Amino acid sequence: MTTDTQAYFDEHGYYHAKGIFRPNEVLALTADFDRIVHQLVASGEDVDATWDGGEAAKIAKAGDRILHTHNVQKYSRVWLNAFLNERFLDVVEALIGPDIILHHSKLFQKPAEAGSPFPMHQDWPYFPTVNDTMIAGIIHVSRATDQMGCLRVYPGSHKLGRIEGADGRRQNDLLDRYPIEEAIVVEAEPGDVVFFHYFTLHGSMPNRSDAVRKTVLCQMYSGTDRVEDGNRHPDERMVLRGWNHHISRAAAGEAA
């Protein structure tokens, strides 16, 4: 599996791993997902991660929203266990090697009928690494269909490398050549994980279905890599497998 998985990912910039989490595991993950959402809503904090800017406005409507928090492993041991799941990490190792570092995780709940979209973008502008090993794994605890606003990608677009201004929040002449409406739709089932490189052009349309879409995104990089100096995005630096070759006493104790 390792060779085939890596070859597919290297060619297409994404990989759909089906049934990584078993039904009983999905039930436990869903229960804690819902508990996190309940706690977020009860907190009174602003938990809507809907993007501003003209690009989002092109595909959104008034009242769209998406519930969000960083680092679900700080809420739930069940979710920490998910990131340490051997089947999950076996795929990650096939993609980036045996040293796997958690950068951060993100919960996204797209409400039924009014779930916010994400315009086409690359992830690298938000947390660039020196060797560009950063990938994401989207863990699905609900179905994700086209109508529910599932992931869309342009296969092979990771070969474009770093596109300046590709954060999805502003107009970009190069991104205009990759309209979200023409991107490949990646529908998924509960327990599936969709991995993609942080150069891969991706986004999602609104959720206009009558069902809630529930996902947790796990962002990871190789232990032989490191986040570029000066980046202020939270970097957990948690070793999920193997070794962190760039950790130091100061970095281990440094506040995010």
Q: What is the CATH number of the domain that holds 185?
A: 2.60.120.620
Residues 206-226 have pLDDT tens digits of: 999 999 999 999 999 999 999
The helix/strand/coil state of 96 is helix
- Give the domain range for residue 95: 2-253
Quick one: pLDDT band at residue 27, thresholds 50, 70, 90?
very high
Average pLDDT over residues 148-157: 98
Residues 95-129 have pLDDT tens digits of: 999 999 999 999 999 999 999 999 999 999 999 99
**How many folded domains does the chain comprise?**
1
Residues 172-182 have pLDDT tens digits of: 999 999 999 99
- Spatial CB neighbours of 241, under 8 Å, sequence gap ≥ 6: 89, 92, 93, 98, 99, 100
Give the pTM. 0.96
